[in-house]
Amino acid sequence: MINLNVQNETSRLRAVVLGIANNIGPIPTIDEAYDPKSIEHIKAGTYPTEMDMISEMEALNKVFEKYNVKVYRPKIIKNYNQIFSRDIAFVLGDKLIKSNILPDREKEIEAIQYVLDEIDPSKIISAEEDVHFEGGDVMLWENYIFIGTYKGEDYKDIITARTNMKGVNFIKKLFPNKIVKEFDLVKSNTNAKENALHLDCCFQPVGKNKGIIHKEGFKNESDYMFLVNLFGLDNLFHISKDEMYQMFSNVFSISEKVVVSEKNFTRLNNWLRANDFIVEEVPYAEIGKQEGLLRCSTMPLIRD
């Protein structure tokens, strides 16, 4: 049995679902893409190749091996993108919550059924169809659950809006002892530099009391100020619009001391090292072309 336990974003990782890039199928058409960054690369002819993405994910897998993390991979579905395992489900405490994902992606959860079969069924939670959330929008921090959302009237027309207020309220009910704080994010179907696809695209905690943040990713300055007051200005690494676009805030913590980051994130990686983190650098820029990076492609199951 897998005894789920995730109390925060940075405790020592013991077991994780890592997505897979094999047999990803042909380059999607513009109509098939789910985000503005993928569309940009499809148009430019720079969409990532399967071979490059497989080798990037293998580099991350090797880091997990180095730290003795148990890694589960989805079963391969032919011609199907299964990289972003954080989207399909996420663990809070001892519960695994299944996402109501975009309809075209529903097969992805079937590919990890063998993992779900090892979990106590009473710990697996599903929501009604109109309750939306994806793991990239949900974060645990001390007694808080942070949730990225989109409150616009045009929610259903914004393909980059993945978590609605019904999703926020569902998690509030599920965890009455936690403080659930939602953040209204800036969204764009057409401009990747103006689009915070998930909360982890514009904010993520690292270590015990630090975080990476993109101020302009928040619709309301008061939400940004809430995090500044909680973490302290000096503890936050501010990223520019271009760094947000490159997914600087989408790193992944193996422990409070060890952060996996993209090897080209020089400014961030220097800051992390200056703050006594061990930085495990991996190539992940090709995967980043699909508007997802390290946190998006991992779903922690057990942290100490």
CA angle 279, 269, 39 (to 5 degrees): 105
Position 17 pLDDT exceeds 90: yes
Position 196 pLDDT exceeds 90: no
124-125: strand order across its sheet: 89-92, 95-98, 124-125
What pLDDT was estimated at residue 188?
A: 80
CATH topology of domain 13-303: L-arginine/glycine Amidinotransferase; Chain A (3.75.10)
**Cα 78 to Cα 203: distance, rounded to the nearest angstrom:** 34
- pLDDT tens across 105-132, in order? 788 999 999 999 999 999 999 999 999 9
**Cα 230 to Cα 225: distance, rounded to the nearest angstrom:** 8
What pLDDT was estimated at residue 36?
A: 82
Output the CA–CA distances (angstroms, integers) from residue 196 to 187, 200, 217, in the order listed: 6, 8, 6
* Domain map (residue ranges) of the chain: 13-303
Q: Tell me the pLDDT band of 213, cut-offs 50, 70 and 90.
A: very high
For the chain, percent of residues with pLDDT exceeding 90: 83
Decide which of 193 and 235 is more confident.
235
Q: Which of 99, 74, 102, 73 is nearest to 88 (CA)?
A: 99
- pLDDT tens across 262-291, in order? 999 999 999 999 999 999 999 999 999 988
Helix (H, G, I), strand (E, B) or coil at 2: coil
Beta strands in the chain (DSSP E): 13-18, 70-72, 89-92, 95-98, 124-125, 138-141, 144-149, 179-184, 203-206, 210-213, 236-238, 252-253, 258-262, 278-282, 298-303
For the chain, the average pLDDT equals: 94
